[in-house]
Structure 1
Amino acid sequence: MSTHPLRILKYCPKCGSEKFVPSGERSLKCGTCGFHYFVNSAAAVAALITDEDGKLMLVTRGVEPDYGKLDLPGGFVDPMETAEEAVIRELSEELGLTVTSLEYLFSAPNEYIFSEFKVFTLDLAFWVSVDSVENLKAMDDILAYRFYAENEFDYAEIPAPSINSFVKRYFERERQKNS
């Protein structure tokens, strides 16, 4: 069975009608009340944080999808929140970190299954400086954190394509700087 929202959503969320049918490649429209729903990407943020040796912080996911796999710290942007505010909030919630500066780097699309439903995201990567990486505590939806050199992990342990590409781009940039 397909997990795409156009195949799963069967009833209009406004009036409850069964006449909620695909209207193009990324939307559904209600034949009863006219409500039109578009499948769009949700915004999410990822933080690239390094220690004094240039090792990159990766966290271990404590929630599905991909429980126990590697990720960058971050999460969804809340309604009416900027991406920058989301980075600051997520790092505080997940690790107790205080951000001192951040800079947008790049973005990448992502998709994954959550509750048997395909979720589309646009992940935004930020270079982040924090006040201190001492006394961090894994909280919220992460199990652990660690700073890694590129040869200390397997990219297969980072299942999200967007996050995997952000990590690769970071280490490629570091190799270019050092060559």
Structure 2
Amino acid sequence: MFSDTLPVHVFQFCPRCGSANFIATGDRSKKCKECDFHYFFNTSAAAAGLIFNDEGKLLFTRRAIEPHFGMLDLPGGFIEPMETAEQAIAREIKEELGVGVKNLSYWCSFPNEYPFSGFSVFTLDLIFKVELETIEGLKAMDDISGFEFYHPHEIDVEKIPSYSIQQVIKKLIQDEQNS
């Protein structure tokens, strides 16, 4: 998608010795000719939550930061080192909405390319169905400016900037039609 921001094009110097002799060895790796350091640009893990209200509407957040400032998203974010995906989605929901998680279950995953700071971060987004401790008193915090509830079929997926979240919405609609 963002070929000029692929990590293999952005990283020009060896992170170990600083040499400019850091040569691409494939689409997602580089090797330093000076110190032999070999680096692979692997996928990062992220988690997102599906939170439905009593009317069956899905909670969407509004991004308060770039990339995609002001656009719809699902609550969630990157999984931190030594954190499980379950811990990450519970933490992100608490940070973004100010409430705890009562129950959650893994639903599906989709790959994504997240443009950040002139660099493509490739992610695997793990999607969880989430039941909150309470849906009362939600508040927009951290990196969201607000939240809204919609039935998935009310959303124009082309206006969702994230490929993975587009796929989630399409899958929700397909599952609804098949049930």
TM-score, normalisation: structure 1? 0.94
Instruction: Give 1:110's aligned residue.
Output: 112
Aligned letter for 2:120? K
Whether the aligned pair in 1 keeps the contact of 2:19 and 2:34 (CA below 8 Å) is yes
More displaced stretch, 161-170 vs 45-54: 161-170
| Separation in 2, partners of 1:152, 1:169 | 14
Q: Does 1:145 align with 2:147?
A: yes
**Secondary structure, in 3 states, of the residue corresponding to 2:89?**
helix
List alignment gaps of at least 5 residues for structure 1: none
Distance 1:5 1:151, change over 3 A: closer
Q: Does 1:166 align with 2:156?
A: no
* Partner residue of 2:67 out of 65, 82, 101: 65
Instruction: Give 1:155's aligned residue.
Output: 157
> Once superposed, which parts of structure 1, at least 4 consecutive aligned residues long, lie more than 6 Å away?
none
Q: How does 1:41-120 map to 2 (within 5 A)?
A: 41-120=43-122
**Secondary structure, in 3 states, of the residue corresponding to 2:122?**
strand
Q: How does 1:13-52 map to 2 (within 5 A)?
A: 13-52=15-54
Q: CA deviation at 1:153?
A: 3.2
Whether the aligned pair in 1 keeps the contact of 2:152 and 2:172 (CA below 8 Å) is no
List alignment gaps of at least 5 residues for structure 2: none
More displaced stretch, 101-110 vs 156-165: 156-165
**Secondary structure, in 3 states, of the residue corresponding to 2:112?**
strand
| Separation in 1, partners of 2:171, 2:96 | 23
Give a deviation string over 1:134-167, Cα, whole Å, max 9, x none: 1100000011101112354322221111011112
Whether the aligned pair in 1 keeps the contact of 2:153 and 2:173 (CA below 8 Å) is no
| Separation in 2, partners of 1:76, 1:112 | 11
More displaced stretch, 165-174 vs 10-19: 165-174
| Separation in 2, partners of 1:116, 1:71 | 20
Q: Does 1:4 align with 2:6?
A: yes
Give a deviation string over 1:52-102, Cα, whole Å, max 9, x none: 111000111111111111101000000110100000100000001210111
Instruction: Give 1:136's aligned residue.
Output: 138
Instruction: Give 1:121's aligned residue.
Output: 123
**Secondary structure, in 3 states, of the residue corresponding to 1:90?**
helix
**Secondary structure, in 3 states, of the residue corresponding to 2:5?**
coil
Indicate the RMSD between aligned Cα atoms, in angstroms: 1.3
More displaced stretch, 92-101 vs 152-161: 152-161
Percent identity, please: 50
Aligned letter for 1:2? D
TM-score, normalisation: structure 2? 0.94
**Secondary structure, in 3 states, of the residue corresponding to 1:159?**
coil
